[in-house]
Chains A and B, each alone.
Chain A
Amino acid sequence: MIPVGTAPRIVWRLATVVDVVPETPRTRTLVLDVPEWPGHRAGQHVDVRLTAEDGYQAERSYSIASPPEDPRLSLTVERLTDGEVSSYLFDELHSGDKLELRGPIGGYFVWDIPVGGPLLLVGGGSGIVPLMAMLRHRSAVLGTDDMERHRLPARLLYSSRSWEEVIYRDELARLAEKDPTLEVRHTLTRDHPDRWTGFRRRIDRTMLEEVAWPASEKPRVFICGPTPLVESVATNLVGLGHQPALVKTERFGPTGGSI
């Protein structure tokens, strides 16, 4: 935490879109150049503000996808039906365009190396975004240091509707392939490819018992996704004996919240 008195006030900044990367049919990543970005911690978010010509303003929160080590700031946005902000970010914004944002915001749902491990991440849909920042940060700092990796093992349980909708699918596979201390498990709740051997149901207590470390290992748990998923997972983990203080949640609602 930044000591009181030295914390900079969070101000609105004008970012420039330097790249737009398609992720899935409904999500894309905006890569931004933010002047005088003060740096962030994995899990934090930014507020994005759009102003119409008549002065009408709409504000939404978006989780930061990039790790602190990345000089550019990345936001992965999902196109929501009727989303007045998300549809603009998804359909209208191109390289070279400007975007008003403020941050980094929120020091509660954050993980970095000093927080320790094991690290248990549970995500649903675009709830993967802040969790991905944590995994990217972990990978950037630990590199191939086997001793450190074993000290801070990580597991991700990620629920998506279908294989096509798994955000960061290839990158997650690459990260897990080169790191024996990172385990990535997928569950697909609607459609799954032929010969799919992973889970094919909503996350439930049995699945968490299979994937999570036992409570006695005191994993640092971060859950992000739609409110019903987050509350069900948090309730089940506390039921399995995990300390509520070690279970951090980030729910996102239909219009606000982090996407």
Chain B
Amino acid sequence: MKGASKEPREPVVAGERLADARRVDGNAAAGIMSELFVPDLTVAHAKCAGCGTTRTIGALLVYAHGMGTVVRCPGCDRVVLRIARTPTHVWLDATGATSIVVSRSAE
């Protein structure tokens, strides 16, 4: 797995990027995140510890592997969240997120 890269990269919606069919949207992590958090985290905002950009988690990129789910920043490719499931636990590494902000009110 690649570590945090300081090299700036173009965001997916504005530039070219190697095609990777395994890449899906933050939306795809909603199910596993619901095992950790009651609020829907796909509409929460996360600040990337790599480039400092704040984005809706649904707009981040998800790489789903057999072992778990890796959520990356589309701006700098830094891993923002890693979630893995074992037979007995759900494990979250959120060191790539400086903050996660959840709205307290209805839209």
Contacts and interface: CB of A to CB of B under 8 A. Distances in A.
B100 interface: no
Name A's interface SS: mixed
Given A3-B104, A4-B102, A106-B58, A257 B12 contact: no
B6 to A, nearest CB: 23
B13 A1 contact: no
B106 interface: yes
Nearest to B61: A251
Interface string B45-72: 0000000000011110000100000000
Contacts of B31: 10, 47, 59, 61, 102, 105
A234 B13 contact: yes
Contacts of B58: 106-109, 248
Nearest to A8: B38
Contacts of B25: 108-109, 249-251
Contacts of B28: 61, 252, 256-258
A37 to B, nearest CB: 16
A1 B57 CA distance: 15
Contact of B21 (A227, A249, A250): A227
Given A59-B31, A226-B21, A234-B13, A107 B106 contact: no
A107 B40 contact: yes
A188 to B, nearest CB: 22
Interface string B16-32: 01011111111110110
B3 interface: no
A231 interface: yes
Interface in B76-107: 102-107
B105 A3 contact: yes
Nearest to A59: B31
Contacts of B43: 1, 107-108
Contacts of A105: 30-31, 34, 40
Contact of B42 (A106, A114, A235): A106
Given A3-B104, A4-B104, A108-B42, A256 B24 contact: yes
Contacts of B1: none
A249 B60 CA distance: 10
Contacts of A239: 14
Nearest to B105: A3
Nearest to A3: B106
A47 B31 CA distance: 7
A120 to B, nearest CB: 15
A228 interface: yes
Interface string A221-242: 0000011100100110011000
Contacts of B42: 106-108
Interface of B: 11-15, 17, 19-28, 30-31, 34, 38-40, 42-43, 56-59, 64, 102-107
Interface of A: 1-4, 7, 9-10, 45, 47, 59, 61, 102, 105-109, 114, 226-228, 231, 234-235, 238-239, 244, 247-258
